Amino acid sequence: MTGFLIAAAVLLALTLLFLILPLVRQRAAGAEASRNAINAGIYRDQLAELDRDFASGSLNQTDFEEGRRELQRRLLEDAGGDGSASASPRPARRSALLIGLTLPIAAAALYFALGNIPALSPESAQPPKVTAQQIEEMVAKLAARMEQNPDDPKGWIMLARSYKAMGRYEESTRAFGKAEKLVGTDPNLLTDYAEALALSTGGSLRGRPSELIARALKLDPEFPDALVLAGTAAYEREDYAAAVAYWERLLKQLPPDSEDAASLSESIKKARAAAQKQSRKGMKSGAGKAQ
């Protein structure tokens, strides 16, 4: 906030400089006096020349008097113009002083009236917190809107994911079911639907959830979420070799040094050990039957 205020002060100072300088800029008094002296000398020379012409007979009385009057009139006009010019700096200085005082005051007053200084603090950049009650109300409004407009599959998807995030899995699966056609063309939606179904029945991926996962992998064989669930479903039905195969495909997509890669590697080791144990058990069982 301090940096902002400093920048604002600099900009204000520059603005005042550009506004006030034209008002206070004026000629020096010595320069003005010199110009007046030069003009007076010129008029004196012209009067002297007029006198010489009259004395030599080049001008008659009438022309001589008219010429003197014209020179006197011009001299008076120049003197009057100088007086008005010399009087103008005072109003200009008053205007400069008025702007210099009122502009910063007006800017500060306007900012404090309309601005929001606390909004400049880093804490104000944080998004407003939404309470659980507000979320419940928003989801309830969405559910009511979907009842009035049941032919909106995207609305049902939004409602299904909202219910899933809130842990209301049965309601989530019903909402997914309302958008079956849209869900069936998207591997991401298929895996979300499968996960919601599994969580609504105690976490098992057997049956319908596994079917949805298989459809997702058919659409995108390397879809990460589907590979996770497919490996989990295979591990659940004790097909450890298949679980290893799914998870190894997923491991290739993860950054080698990431926590996800480390966690998945541990799951693969566990599945591989279970597969080896299962294989040895099968071999013993086969040998026993042979005897």
Give the pLDDT confidence of 12-37 residue by residue, as tens digits.
555 655 555 555 554 444 444 445 55
Q: Let me know: does 183 contact 176? Beta carbons within 8 Å.
A: yes
- Phi first, then psi: give them for residue 108, nearest 5 degrees: -65, -45
What is the token pair recorded at 147? 């009842």
Query: Would the CA dihedral through 263, 265, 269, 272 be positive or negative?
Result: positive
* Per-residue pLDDT at 176: 96
Q: pLDDT tens digit string along 202-218?
A: 989 999 999 999 999 99
Parse the chain into domains and list their residue ranges. Answer: 2-125, 132-280
* Per-residue pLDDT at 204: 93
Residue 85 one-letter amino acid: A
Q: pLDDT tens digit string along 38-83?
A: 555 565 666 666 666 666 666 666 776 677 677 666 666 655 544 4
Whole-angstrom distance, CA of residue 166 vs CA of residue 132: 9
Architecture of domain 132-280: Alpha Horseshoe (1.25)
